[in-house]
Structure 1
Amino acid sequence: MDTVFFIASKLIGALLRPDTWIIIALAGIVLALVAGRRRAALGISSLTLALLVTLSALPVGDMLLQPIERRYPANPRLEAADGIIVLGGGEDARASVSIGTHVWMPPSMQGFVDLLSM
């Protein structure tokens, strides 16, 4: 049952996105032109153009994001950073040394870096 719910949620989520509707509309235009229905293709293309202009040129996206941005304020600025911690992945020590940066890593990670350099 979890798999059915997962698939249904992904399908519904995809159908709610504006870009999916634009792709469906473009496919409808092509099908209408192939079928010889020029008026239907003209109508669908006009609606698609209006949707594209509305979503890209007008500040619709900003208006939709404003309630979310008001609810979750931005993180406060940090006064100073003592260092940067990189989580996950490996480090290419030779590349870092070649550009003049210092690389520190725990001894347990050195074996991983040696493996990557092979």
Structure 2
Amino acid sequence: MQDLFFYVSKVFWALASPDHLLLLLILIGLLLVWAGKRFGLWLSLVSVMLLLIVAVFPVGNLLLKPLEQRVPQAELPKQVAGIIILGGAEEAALSAMYKQPHMNSAAERVMTLPMVAEIYLDVPVVITGGSSSVLYQQYRGADVVAQWADQIGLRDRLIVERQARNTFENAVYTGELVDKNSGQWLLVTSAFHMPRSVGIFRKQGWDVVPYAVDYRASGNNFAIQFWRNMRDLSTAVREWIGLLAYYLTGKTDQLLPEVEANPQ
């Protein structure tokens, strides 16, 4: 069942991703024009206009803010049973190709490792993340973090979980490596991703304390940065779709899970 969910989600997102969807609508519109359908011209023009709007206005901010603002910015708790850092910051294929760790725009997730490892000296630190790729399962994100941790002298602190392909599997497979009932676990991931992550982990029986990083929503209402605007819009749309899909399939108890302030 997990395999079906994984593959269906990949096919769906390949079509629903805003950049793919708009380009597909333009192509369909042009084909309709070629077939003599006037509607095709309107479809292409509207799709091009939407692309231009995204090129100028950071529309993604409107969708990211409710997710990130749901995450309280609080101090680290005094004590935790362990630390879980969710993968997704790694460029696993590039890292394997060039034999050195490569990170993407979510690198803040991994950048917390030295800090939390120093604050919490005697607790397990789990990095969880396999491959979210359908075709290149041999490249695992957790391997990249392990390589980087080895370079900075923290490899011995890590418990590496390299099978998970999504957040649900992060919670399940991490639970097979450590005792999730040993107390509160610090959960590190991107702010926009934290509500869904907290909902999933708690549904699996984890007592997690959120520590959000990698905030994306800015106060800009105008920014001619097409690549970044489209990236943030795609990130936001994907996360909202993920919240709905995980709720409908029973992987979370709430459509938009509550994220309480960190206990001290």
Name segments (4+ residues, structure 1) moved above 2 Å.
Answer: 1-5, 12-16, 53-56, 67-70
How far apart in 2 are the matches of 1:56 and 1:32? 25
| Aligned 1:12-27 pairs, distance under 5 A | 12-27=12-27
Between Structure 1 and Structure 2, the one with more strand by share is 2
Task: Pick from 143, 147, 153 the counterpart of residue 88 of structure 1.
Answer: 147
Distance 1:36 1:3, change over 3 A: same
Give 3-state SS (helix, strand or coil) of 1:68's partner.
Answer: helix
TM-score by length of 2: 0.26
Gaps of 5+ in 2: 74-113, 115-144, 154-264
Aligned length, in residue pairs: 83
How far apart in 2 are the matches of 1:33 and 1:16? 23
| Aligned 1:55-70 pairs, distance under 5 A | 55-70=54-69
Residue 119 of structure 2 corresponds to none
How far apart in 1 are the matches of 2:24 and 2:72? 34
% same residue: 32
Higher relative contact order (CA 8 A, sep 6+): 2
Gaps of 5+ in 1: 74-80, 90-104, 106-118
Tell me if structure 1 keeps the 8 A contact 2:32–2:40: yes
CA drift at 1:23: 1.9
Deviation sequence 1:71-92 (CA, Å, 0-9, x none): 264xxxxxxx9xxxx8527xxx
TM-score by length of 1: 0.51
